[in-house]
Amino acid sequence: MLAEALRIEQAHVTRLYDRLDAVREETAAALRAEHARGEMGGTHQARFEREVAADEHARRLARLFGVERDLCFGRIDEADGETLYIGRIGLRDDDREIILTDWRAPAARPFYTATPASPGSLVRRRHLHLRERTVVGLDDEVFDLERLSESDRRTLVGEAALLVALRRGRTGRMNDVVATIQTEQDRVIRSGLAGALVVQGGPGTGKTVAALHRAAFLLYTHRAVLERRGVLVVGPNPLFSRYIGQVLPSLGETDVVLSSLGELYPGVRATATDTPATAVVKGDPRMAGVVAAALRDRQRVPDGDLEVAIVVRTSVRDGVEVVVERMTLTVDHDTCVRARDRARTSRHPHNVARRLFMMDILKALAVDEAVRLDASLEEEDLRHARKALWSQPAVRDAVDALWPLLTPERLIADLLASPAALHSAAPDLTEDERAALLRPPGAPWTVGDVPLLDEAAELLGEDEDAGTPAEAARAAEEEREAEERYARGVLEFTGLLEDRMMVAGALAERHRDTGPAVTTAERARRDRRWAYGHVIVDEAQELSAMAWRAVMRRIPARSLTVVGDIAQTGSAAGARSWGEMLDPYVKGRWRQEHLAVNYRTPMEIMRVAADVLRAVAPGQEPPESVREGGSAPRAVPLDPDAPDGPAALKAVVEGELAEIGEGRLAVIVPDARYDRIAALFPRDGDVLDAPVAVLTVTASKGLEFDAVVVVEPDEILTRTPMGGHDLYVAITRATRRLTVTHRKDLPPMLSRLERHRP
């Protein structure tokens, strides 16, 4: 029976791979032809069209090569005799008959939602197991309601295939779960594009993996819009981005931008973190006002009149030009104030408004010069005079001193390095809060600085010198119209057209298109003002209010997926509730899905985690584990500071490595011990590929390992106000084994651990 079934499935799978090879070859040939045509020259328009076509073929080819592994993983049989094969992409044969159904297509949905209690029209679901292109096994679930017992009324979908997937050793990279998506996850994945969806769930409930499958689903379902506008996935740090980096390509999607919070502002890659006290102040929404005030402080007027000594006459002596005569021009104080106020109220950003300020000052200087020299006050003459004045360094210096051209980096670095600047810009912060912000000049950027830089960039704007004013105005008008057309399209598809608060023009302002030379993802990553079609924020509980401002700027259509667990909030500036962070942007318009099953952490370890959660966040419910897993989690007394401490820790780690065989292990340590303990386990290359990864709790967020050794839980608990949440995170990283080493008494919340002598 089984052999016969395997033979039948192999025949179909072989046919699918043959077809995949053929489509790849067709696409590669089309790409080659496009490139060959590209060398033939032609009009600009023809070249542009060829580039677009070649780009499309290249994209498709990348997608076709991404789906080699487990091309087809399932089959469903309907009561009416119809059979569908489910795979990573859809394929048709030469007669256009569907031979493989894309997992994201509506027809594939019963594969993920049918349960014995509610099978819909299905009579059987089959999971296929492939090794390369060979079918090596299958699991069947036969839905026969007549014979359904109470115990069959379980809710796990494809349990056998799921458990095989969960028992696999970890590889250091997240894999897709397309073959074993569970019903509650399916709901998240296929939820509509419009509005904000919050996915709240405990550790290991598949929030990350479901969110990534959701990105693939949305790209499939709304390809026209999302491929143009792009999808952004924001994670907590670059390590996490690398950890999840393979999932979307393996689902055939390559056009997604993965970024960490510290990389959101182009040109800065912040990895340093602030102390909890500093993070709280930097993440406070009042900082938006502080940055704005710091900028206003840079828009100055002189105490009295402005005086500028300009050069009136030069002569050349021995080949060198020397100044023979200077004259001091004056702009009275009131004129300076009016110039500043006019520029401020122009509603242009600072660097653009500078032109207005400069023009007013130049006008006043030119008039003063004409009066002093008894020269013409005709407009044409004054225009020449202004131009000549602007070429004088003394005039430029004077304008720069009052209204400087600023970069965000300059503004924020100057602010944070100066007690006086902080005092002036942040009078409402307490003395302690201002002290927490202060840092030495030249200090590296922290993740908490990035939203401040983004805020500053927003207020500063860019003065793009675009030809003559008339040309610039015309070009800007054309661009604005094109952008508004696009923005209306976005609003229609996201169903927000009725929403009075969303003005198409405001959305259009964010849109910038720079031609087909690079992929959407590349263009989007480089452009701070890029408006994405959809944004997924993972470990979203860690974002401060200021970080949310930066994220929301990138998603004016407010189509976003927010993934996280309030019980795992580690950042002192992070979320205590979703409403607190989201209401300012999407009040009454965000919906929440709960994921309640933990696929990662076995029950024995989860019981320990539940004790910790009960102690630190009594209102929060831990998720329920699907697996029971062998060995009991244990506590080993060990003093890492004793002379034999390092050797003892190494012995514990060696013992664990021997237990897990091929798998991977993490040593999770208090921040203050990181350097010393990391030095005990030297590695080459990426920490994700190392058999032993030494990590702080913050770095371990979102990751998982076959075995976890947590060092000094007491120090993790007391290090920050969120220490209890950190301990909960550390414990729930393990898929099989957990060991806690402790110098002092074990904290009572860990009393369930089995005591071991080393």
Binding residues: 201-208
Touching ligand ATP, residues 323-382 (CB under 6 A) = none
With respect to ligand ATP, which residue has the nearer C-beta, 203 or 663? 203
Hey, what are 58's tokens? 């290249």
The answer to whether 360 touches 336, Cβ cutoff 8 Å, is: no
Question: Can you say whether residue 541 is alpha, beta or left, with left for phi > 0 and alpha for psi between -120 and 50 degrees?
Answer: alpha
Q: Which of 180, 351, 561, 569 binds ligand ATP (CB under 6 A)?
A: 180
Is 706 a residue that touches ligand ATP (CB under 6 A)? Answer: no
31 vs 566, which CB is nearer to ligand ATP?
566
DSSP string, 523-577: HHHH-TT---SEEEESSGGG--HHHHHHHHHT-TT--EEEEE-GGG--STTS-S-
Task: Say whether residue 702 binds ligand ATP (CB under 6 A).
Answer: yes
**Which one-letter amino acid corresponds to residue 415?**
L
Which residue in 28, 61, 166, 648 binds ligand ATP (CB under 6 A)?
166
Task: Please name the residues in contact with 409: beta carbons below 8 A apart, sequence gap of 6 or more.
Answer: 268, 453
* 204 makes contact with ligand ATP (CB under 6 A): yes
CB of 149 to ligand ATP, least distance (A): 24
Give the residue with the Cβ less far from ligand ATP, 445 or 599. Answer: 599
Shorter beta-carbon distance to ligand ATP: residue 22 or 596: 596
Give yes or no for residue 600 binding ligand ATP (CB under 6 A). yes
| Both structure tokens of 66 | 């991404």
Residue nearer to ligand ATP on the CB measure, 493 or 599: 599
Contacts of residue 413, defined as CB under 8 A and 6 or more positions apart, other chains included, come to 441
Residue 268: strand, helix, or coil: coil
CB atoms within 10 A of CB 339: 25
Determine, following the binding rule CB under 6 A, whether residue 213 of this chain makes contact with ligand ATP: no
With CB under 6 A as the rule, give the number of residues binding ligand ATP. 23
Q: To the nearest whole angstrom, how small is the minimum distance from the Cβ of residue 550 to ligand ATP?
A: 22
Q: Which residue in 172, 206, 230, 629 binds ligand ATP (CB under 6 A)?
A: 206
Shortest CB 732 distance to ligand ATP, Å: 6
Residue nearest to ligand ATP (CB): 206
Q: Which is nearer to ligand ATP, 299 or 700 (CB)?
A: 700
Contact status: 625 vs ligand ATP (CB under 6 A): no
* Residue placing its CB nearer to ligand ATP in the complex, 234 or 429: 234
Name the amino acid, one letter, at 675: D
Q: Is 520 in the site for ligand ATP (CB under 6 A)?
A: no
| Pair 553, 506: CB distance under 8 Å | no
Candidates 138, 209, 231, 358; binder of ligand ATP (CB under 6 A) is 209
CA distances from 74 to 124, 213, 590 (A): 11, 17, 34
Least separation in angstroms between CB 182 and ligand ATP = 5
- Pick between residue 206 and residue 663 the one whose CB is nearest to ligand ATP: 206
Phi/psi of residue 465, nearest 5 degrees: -75, 105
Contact stretch for ligand ATP (CB under 6 A) within 40-48, 113-121, 160-168, 742-750: 160-168
Q: Please give the residues from 711 up to 740 whose contact with ligand ATP meets the rule CB under 6 A.
A: 732
For residue 750, what are its two tokens? 């860990």
Amino acid code (one letter) for 670 = P
SS3 (DSSP) at 252:
coil
Cα 727 from Cα 750, distance rounded (Å): 10
* Residue number, 201 or 724, with CB nearest to ligand ATP: 201
> Is residue 208 a contact residue for ligand ATP (CB under 6 A)?
yes
If one asks whether residue 627 binds ligand ATP (CB under 6 A), the answer comes out as: no
What is the rounded distance in angstroms from the CA atom of residue 85 to the CA atom of residue 102?
Answer: 9
One residue of 33, 58, 163, 165 binding ligand ATP per CB under 6 A: 165
Contact 522, 58 (CB under 8 A): no
**From 28-36, 198-206, 251-259, 627-635, span contacting ligand ATP (CB under 6 A):** 198-206
Return d(Cα 696, Cα 614) in angstroms, integer. Answer: 23
Give the Cα separation of 413 and 453 in Å (integer): 9
Contact 505, 484 (CB under 8 A): yes
Instruction: Indicate the residue among 570 and 702 with the shorter CB distance to ligand ATP.
Output: 702
DSSP 197: E
d(CA 279, CA 198): 24
* Rounded Cα distance, 400 and 625, in Å: 63
Q: Does 185 bind ligand ATP (CB under 6 A)?
A: yes
Please state the closest distance from residue 127 (CB atom) to ligand ATP, in A: 11
Place of tokens 């690398």: 242
How many residues make up the chain in this entry? 758
Minimum CB distance to ligand ATP, residue 701 (Å): 7
Output the furthest CA–CA distance in the chain (Å, rounded): 110
Neighbours of 634 (CB within 10 A): 15
Pick from 203, 236, 516, 533: which binds ligand ATP (CB under 6 A)? Answer: 203
Positions 9 through 28 that interact with ligand ATP (CB under 6 A): none
Strand, helix or coil for residue 504:
helix
Q: Is 162 in the site for ligand ATP (CB under 6 A)?
A: yes
Question: 605 and 731 in contact (C-beta within 8 Å)?
Answer: yes
Separation of alpha carbons 81 and 606, rounded Å? 43
Smaller CB distance to ligand ATP: residue 91 or 174? 174
Decide: helix, strand or coil at residue 284: coil
Q: Per-residue x/- marks for ligand ATP, 561-590, CB under 6 A? A: ----x--x----------------------
Among 671, 635, 676, which residue's Cα sits nearest to residue 652? 635
Which residue's CB is nearer to ligand ATP, number 201 or number 556? 201
| Shortest Cβ 165–ligand ATP spacing (Å) | 4
The answer to whether 234 and 551 have CB atoms below 8 angstroms apart is: yes
What's the closest the beta carbon of residue 90 comes to ligand ATP, in angstroms? 21
Q: Is 449 in the site for ligand ATP (CB under 6 A)?
A: no
Which lies closer to ligand ATP via its Cβ, residue 507 or residue 535?
535
Question: For ligand ATP, which stretch binds (CB under 6 A), given 201-209, 321-329, 583-591, 745-753?
Answer: 201-209
Q: Which residues are annotated as a binding site for ATP?
A: 201-208
Residues making contact with ligand ATP (CB under 6 A): 162, 165-166, 177, 180-182, 185, 201, 203-209, 565, 568, 599-600, 702, 704, 732
